[in-house]
Copies of this chain bind each other. A is one copy, B any other.
């Protein structure tokens, strides 16, 4: 058991649901002597007003100055720019991590952006979230009992890997190490592509002639099946584009299964249909108990 993590200054870049919750957790658990929130918009000011951070800024250099932990929690498309802007400005003992839903591209962006500072970067992905967003949705206990995946690249400094793990531990999460390629393939399957399916189901109904009636008669089944279809269109477009190849592999496998179901239905082949449903149903019934992980 290592000593509890004690940070001098934590900088959280992007303070929406995830970043705001990281900041609040570090602040309220006394992990960091100071927690600074950065955003180019007024999110950081709102986060400060909500007590999530000690100090707010819209200047990146001010945010990272002297910080020994920097947590990127901004949208995927802005991460490369943020990483490049940190080049040569990090404290010598700084550790940089992120919270994005994809890991390969952010590691590549850190390699390109941080230069000699690359060993100080360790990628992470807390499996937590929700349809709500912004600093107002942040919760000090968001990561309590959840899983945080840590994808350390081969050149990562051991103390950096340790600090990122200790941060998630301090926030109440269990950490799991995973290869970034495997991470992106797995999360395409359990999260990214299922979002596309839920959006497609909502989109098809919305474009149909029964869009209003369907809304009125949507029961628990449709409600659950489409719940993640209410998520942020922008956020999920970014994630799917970023993890495009893995998502397209899932798309092909899903469309093949769906096509086989549609063919069996077209042919009124009840046995073929029931056999496919049975295999699907058996997989679903054997899911681990809820709460083992809790993800978007």
With A186-B214, A207-B279, A219-B295 known, 11 other A-B pairs at CB within 8 A are A186-B213, A189-B210, A190-B214, A191-B222, A197-B197, A199-B276, A204-B257, A211-B283, A218-B293, A225-B228, A244-B268
Query: Which of B217, B232, B258, B288 interacts with A200 by CB under 8 Å?
Result: B258
Residues in chain B near residue A199, CB distance under 8 A? 261, 276-277, 280-281
Residues of B within 8 A of A187 (CB): 217
Q: Which of B211, B216, B240, B295 contacts A217 (CB 8 A)?
A: B295
Identify which of B196, B218, B296 contacts A190 (C-beta below 8 A): B218
- The answer to whether the Cβ of A54 comes within 8 Å of any Cβ in the partner chain is no
- Neighbour of A284 across the interface among B196, B229, B285, CB < 8 A: B229
Report which of B190, B207, B226, B255 forms a contact with A219, defined as CB distance below 8 A.
Answer: B190
Collect the chain B residues with CB atoms within 8 Å of residue A200's CB. Answer: 254, 257-258, 261, 276, 280
A2 within 8 A of B: no
Q: Give A residues with C-beta under 8 Å from B.
A: 127, 129, 147, 185-187, 189-191, 194-208, 210-211, 213-234, 236-238, 240-241, 244, 247-248, 250-251, 253-259, 261-262, 265-266, 268, 270, 273-288, 290, 292-296
B residues in contact with A216, CB < 8 Å: 288, 292-293
Contact A222 B205 (CB under 8 A): no
- 5 pairs of residues in contact across A and B, judged by CB atoms under 8 Å: A129-B221, A185-B210, A229-B280, A255-B255, A255-B258
Whether B211 lies near A194 (C-beta < 8 A) is no
Closest Cβ–Cβ distance, residue A148 to chain B (whole Å): 12
Contact A205 B233 (CB under 8 A): no
Those 5 A-B pairs whose CB atoms lie nearest each other, nearest first? A219-B295, A206-B283, A233-B277, A202-B280, A203-B280
Q: How far is it, in angstroms, between the C-alpha of A286 and the C-alpha of B189 when the chains are bound? A: 27
Contact A265-B240, Cβ < 8 Å, known A191-B222, A199-B276, A214-B190: yes
In Å, the complex CA distance between A253 and B279 comes to 25
Interface contact A265-B251, CB-CB below 8 Å: yes
Best-surrounded residue of A197, A255, A277 (most CB of chain B within 10 A): A277
